[in-house]
Amino acid sequence: MFSLKYLPHKEADEKPIFVLHRHGFVLGVIIAGFLLIGILPLAAYLIIRAEPFQVFTGEAMAIFLRLLVFVFYLFWWMLFYYAFLDYYLDVWIVTNYRVIGVEQKGLFNRTVAEYKLFRIQDVVAEQKGFFATLVNYGEIHIQTAGEQQVIKFKQVPSPNHVARELIRLVEFNKKQFAELEKMEAGEMANEEKTQKNF
């Protein structure tokens, strides 16, 4: 799990606003799908025990079928572990200065992206499908200035609320950044005047 105190380039007064994972419903769907797939060997065993399939009796065939079930469950557990890691290690953090996206793309591939709030141009919340609307989860698309890619928060809870708060934070940061630029421009102008006077 990510903690803000371990994040690089942390500002002194930086505070987390949101720490978002995918919605718990998504994990429930993953678990239900794997449970259904996990029942397949039991169903196959019941079919093989039926009258027409008495060809599969015998000690060698029983050993082969046990080995096949063992290999099946080995791959089943590996794929479940992979799907759970992908769910658990994807995290999006919104602080009062920036957006940090951490996405796990395979067992040994992780992407960490950081974007300053004042560079964000557009925030869009999207809910597609019956269950996404019913359970209230969806995606948030964030467009940044320049040639940056669109940042995507995938299957996060309450996307409309998060998008509204993110827009509010972006506007606040843009005002602060504009004021800071004015102050710096004023200081530079004062320095130029003092240099001309000497």
List per-residue pLDDT tens for the chain, 198 residues long.
Answer: 455 556 667 777 888 888 899 999 999 999 999 999 999 888 877 777 666 656 656 777 778 878 888 999 999 999 999 999 989 889 999 988 889 888 888 778 888 888 888 888 889 999 999 999 999 999 999 988 766 667 889 999 999 999 999 999 999 988 888 887 777 776 666 666 666 655
Residue 2 lies in a domain: no
Q: Which of 121, 101, 136, 124 is nearest to 171 (CA)?
A: 121
| Alpha-carbon span 102 to 157, nearest angstrom | 17
Please write down the long-range contacts of 174-178, taking CB distance under 8 Å and 24 or more positions apart. Answer: 174/117, 174/118, 176/118, 177/118
φ, ψ for residue 150, nearest 5 deg: -75, 130
Q: What pLDDT is stored for residue 163 in this prediction?
A: 93
φ, ψ for residue 105, nearest 5 deg: -120, 70
Residue 161 lies in a domain: yes
Residue 187 lies in a domain: yes
CB atoms within 10 A of CB 164: 13
Residue 3 lies in a domain: no
CA count, 13 A, side-chain hemisphere, 147: 0
Q: What pLDDT is stored for residue 31 in this prediction?
A: 94
Q: What pLDDT is stored for residue 4 in this prediction?
A: 57
Residue 4 lies in a domain: no
Range of the domain at 137: 15-198
Residue 53 lies in a domain: yes
Q: What pLDDT is stored for residue 46 in this prediction?
A: 75
Residue 1 lies in a domain: no
Structural domains counted in the chain: 1
Residue 8 lies in a domain: no
